[in-house]
Amino acid sequence: MTIPDPVHPAWLPPEAFRAVGSRRTLVLGDGLLVETVHDEVAQACARYGGRVRRGAEDGPYDLVLALITAESLPGAAGAVLAEFRGDAGPAGRVIGAEGYLLARRDGVTVVLAGDSAGLLYGLFHVVRLGERAFAAEREAEHHRPAMRRRMLDHWDNVDVHPVMGQVERGYAGGSIFWRDGAPRGDLARVRAYARLLAACGVNAISVNNVNVHATEARLLTDRLGDVAAIADVLRPYGIRVHLSVSFASPVVLGGPPTADPLDEDVRTWWTGVTERVYETIPDFGGYVVKADSEGQPGPFAYGRDHADGANVLAEALAPHDGVVHWRAFVYNHRQDWRDRTTDRARAAHDHFAPLDGRFRDNVIVQVKHGPIDFQTREPVSPVIAAMPATRLAVELQVTQEYTGQQRHVCYLAPMWSEVLGFRPWGPDGAAVADIAAGTADVADGAEDRHGRAPGDGGGLVGVSNVGDDPYWTGHPLAQANLYAFGRLAWVPWADPAAILDEWIDLTFAPAATGGTEPAATGESERLRRTLHAIMDGSWRTYERYTAPLGVGFMVRPGHHYGPDVDGYEYTPWGTYHFADRDGVGVDRTRATGTGFTGQYPPPWSGTYESLADCPDELLLFFHHVPYGHVLRSGSTVIQHVYDTHFAGAEQVAEARRHWAELAGTGVVDERLHARVLGLFDEQLRCAEEWRDQINAYFFRKSGVPDAQGRRIP
């Protein structure tokens, strides 16, 4: 009989709380999340010998965690707050929603917050710092999230779907919420998940699939109590529950015989249903909708557009401070592969950009970061720059559908950082992170021209990579992607390598868990170096051995794992590479192609249009070129294909060697080491298969041999 691995604590092992749990702590304030702060500290103190008090008791204290609304702040805390506010006193600077101050004054570490969520995030910041939080004096640091909305979408099915399984595009086992058509009886795993999310900054989740099946539709009405039970477990960690709903819900759930958004009976139905939702879950976040996309019903059936469809739900949610996340993933998935004028990349912009200004203010148009579908390399979606009067959320895929399915190491934070730092209007313009945060045209501390405060944009949304696997994410190292998503949603300009350091320190390193002996510190640094060597460049390694130069979609149809160069080439899905004997790539120029480049503002419309200026890594996304075309790197396209695919497989072999060398050292748990080593075996096998299939395909198409004489099958 095989004994299953225990649930891995991820970045919140008990040892991470050693520095807090061994101190004398004062917690001041009221509210559910303040109680959570107290309970977290109390559990740590019970383990490590510290003590925690509530109320204005006499010190001394090593750590003060307080709401600024508390009746009396201890001396050090009061001094920190007074300095922050300045001469203006209570009417001066404000900490802001979910924000906090962190300082160390006169031997006391102080966390001050204006609300209980901020106090919880401040506690987890102290946990990240460990002993460093109690070392030297620290000037007051003001921390607040760049984005108000930091959300994860779960594509979990209540019932096991015959095609999609328990979790659609999930690679870490079954749902942590649902089993056999009902909620899991024991929600302790959900509570542990809530802690992990709060510790990295996530504050909202949807708990069911955007492709809403029959059982999921009923969560809105007669199964609402099941959702409320999950919300009760998440609430103490400041996480609001959202539901994916079908646009056709009125028809499916026994309401009016139509879902026409301009029908008065439909509006009345949504209003009544939504009122009952909030009676059951008062802090309910809102709805997520996938409409007129890949077979899901939508407003097109009634001759309406997406603004009409979104606004009827938004109207019902508005009195309750709810929002509707309306996905912009709308395209023709039944196109004729012979017709090169049809371009899936254009679709979201064609459908949504003309509607800018027509959405209600509590509609968030949720845009995939690229114009196709979470490929390893895509340009940033032009929709993100095309709708200044609309709240936009940028959607990232944490689960690795097209980046190795959590069987391959692929640390995605470097990709996401490139996306968030991209400036659609050139180097002096706003970045994607500014647009998502709602600060693209906001002076510091002011409202924008639509009356929105800084941070009150659509935010960041990630497709969750979590399942009931003991390591949460299937591949233990894929935990880093979930952690990095939360941290980048809070601080989108953070360095991916620094985020990886945080995750390593919390999850693995003895030095961060209280080990101070030289041997422990040395082993910690060895592990850190190994993980950076494996993970820092892993996204680009994956790119090297898969589809080249931004062309994308050379994967097996359906499950999307492993190479199949022509798998989608003659299908209706609109994901083509157009390789022939002379060249490869998709002509998306205005001059001779689909015109997609014209959806970008200058200077990128010109950059992508120009064969000479287009970045190498996106060349085949925008241009069809001969195999002998010389890249800006100096290599030809065909030689680049050969070189990168050989290099990518070699880099995977090297990463595997790095990990294998940790065996028997005691640096990582033996079961975890064995799990990762087995996954590296699969990654290396798959990388070599990618290398051989891609190189053989293009050698046979082009007839051009490898200039280095390497064997191509």
Which of the residues 139, 265, 294, 682 is marked catalytic? 294
Contact by Cβ (8 Å): 455, 145? yes
Query: Following CA atoms 287, 290, 291, 296 in sequence, which dihedral angle do they give, to the nearest 10 degrees?
Result: -120
- CA dihedral sign, ordered 514, 517, 518, 522: negative
Which of the residues 401, 523, 543, 587 is marked catalytic? 401
Give the integer Cα–Cα distance in Å for 400 and 546. Answer: 14
**H helix or E strand, kind and range, residue 232:** helix 224-234
Beta bridge partners of 391: 364
Query: Following CA atoms 632, 636, 640, 643 in sequence, which dihedral angle do they give, to the nearest 10 degrees?
Result: -120
Give the integer Cα–Cα distance in Å for 484 and 496. Answer: 8
Phi, psi of 442 (to 5 degrees): -120, 125
Contact by Cβ (8 Å): 215, 181? yes
Tokens coding 455 = 């941070």
C-alpha to C-alpha distances, 625 to 355, 585, 612, 707, nearest whole angstrom: 35, 6, 12, 19
Give the integer Cα–Cα distance in Å for 431 and 371. Answer: 17
Which residues are CB-contacts of 81 (< 8 A; sequence separation ≥ 6)? 68, 73, 101, 112
Tokens coding 409 = 């190491």
Contact by Cβ (8 Å): 144, 94? no
What 3-state DSSP class applies to 443?
Answer: coil
Give the integer Cα–Cα distance in Å for 144 and 72. Answer: 24
Contact by Cβ (8 Å): 381, 367? yes
Contact by Cβ (8 Å): 579, 696? no
CA 357 from chain center: how many Å? 27
Measured between its terminal Cα atoms, the distance across the chain in Å is: 43
C-alpha to C-alpha distances, 81 to 57, 141, 165, 454, nearest whole angstrom: 19, 11, 52, 22
- CA dihedral sign, ordered 403, 408, 413, 415: negative
Which residue in the block uniquely carries the two structure tokens 């008791």? 57
Contact by Cβ (8 Å): 168, 189? no
Beta bridge partners of 167: 156
C-alpha to C-alpha distances, 657 to 373, 432, 555, 662, 678, nearest whole angstrom: 32, 37, 27, 9, 12
Contact by Cβ (8 Å): 267, 229? no
Tokens coding 696 = 């053989």
Neighbouring C-beta atoms of residue 419, cutoff 10 Å: 23
Tokens coding 304 = 């309406």
Contact by Cβ (8 Å): 380, 432? yes
The yes-or-no answer on residue 373 being catalytic is yes
Give the integer Cα–Cα distance in Å for 616 and 444. Answer: 36
Which of the residues 373, 469, 502, 523 is marked catalytic? 373
Tokens coding 519 = 């041997």
Give the integer Cα–Cα distance in Å for 460 and 163. Answer: 29
Q: How many Cα atoms occupy the beta-carbon half-sphere of 309 within 13 Å?
A: 33
Contact by Cβ (8 Å): 273, 235? no
What 3-state DSSP class applies to 506?
Answer: helix
Rounded to 5°, the CA angle 608-610-613 comes to 80
The yes-or-no answer on residue 401 being catalytic is yes
Q: Which residues are catalytic?
A: 294, 373, 401
